[in-house]
Amino acid sequence: MDIKGLEADKLECRLYVGNLDFRMSESDVIKMFSPFGKITAEDFLWHTRGPKRGEPRGYAFVQYTTKEHSGSSVSKGEDEWKVNLRTPNGSSPC
């Protein structure tokens, strides 16, 4: 398998999590998504300048070890948590 194929596999396991409550913390996001599989990376984004500096932006990225884990979190997340879950290319992961 070529390098581009490996990178595409990793992206399929990475989810964009939008519409997060601004009161949520990084640990809340990890607790919410860890029951569905092993999380290999998580990026919780903060405002870095301006009057909102240090406040959460309301979205994050969560990356699982497998596509199946990301798919199971999507089926639960969009219905129960009312968050938007997408792969980085904009499509639904499952």
The most confident of 10-14, 25-29, 76-80, 85-89, by mean pLDDT? 25-29
Label residue 40 exposed, middle or buried (CB < 10 Å: 0-12, 13-18, 19+): middle
- Half-sphere exposure of residue 46: CA atoms within 13 angstroms, side-chain side: 9
pLDDT of 6 higher than 50 = no
- 14 pLDDT tier (thresholds 50, 70, 90): confident
Closest CA to 92 of 63, 77, 71, 72: 71
Q: What is the pLDDT of residues 31-89, one digit of tens each?
A: 989 998 999 999 998 999 989 999 999 989 999 888 887 777 777 666 666 666 766 66
Q: For the whole model, what pTM was predicted?
A: 0.73
Separation in Å, CA 12 to CA 22, 80, 92:
26, 22, 10
Residue 44: both structure tokens together: 């919780």
CATH top class, domain 15-86: alpha beta
The Cα–Cα gap between 42 and 30 comes to: 8
- Of residues 24 and 8, which shows the higher confidence score? 24
